[in-house]
Each structure stands twice: as C-alpha cells, then as structure tokens.
Amino acid sequence: MEPAGKDLWIAALAHHLARRWRTVDPHVLEGVAADIARILGLRSMAPDEVQPIG
C-alpha cells in the first residue's frame, strides 16, 4: 500500500471505528487504525469490513 493510500485507509477506518465508539478520543482511534494497518491480513480489507470486537 502506498503512503497516501495507507493514510486514507487509516482515516477511513478511524472514522468507521468512531461510529461504533463515539466516546473514544479520535486520536486514539486513529492510533488503533494505524496499528491495524500494520496487520497484513486486515490491511487488505476495506475499512468498513474490519469489525471491532466488543
């Protein structure tokens, strides 16, 4: 994944996570999304396909 594409994927996933966890700080969710982006199997998924547990 190229850097611009990765940044966009992370932002989209953070937004997706924010819809589920509205009380979590957006910067925290962006960090979580960045961590998830490092996992090859999840990075190949569309951001709205990544389902949070809990």
Domain boundaries, given as residue ranges, for the chain: 3-48
Answer whether residue 4 shows pLDDT above 60: yes
Answer whether residue 19 shows pLDDT above 80: yes
Q: Which is nearest to 54 in space by CA: 32, 34, 39?
A: 32
pTM, entire model: 0.74
pLDDT at 6 (0 to 100): 87
Answer whether residue 44 shows pLDDT above 70: yes
CA triple 17-23-29, angle to 5 deg: 35
Q: Higher confidence at residue 48 or residue 34?
A: 34
Percentage above 90 pLDDT, the chain: 48
Q: Which residue has the tokens 């957006």?
A: 26
H helix runs in 1-54, sequence order: 3-20, 26-37, 40-43
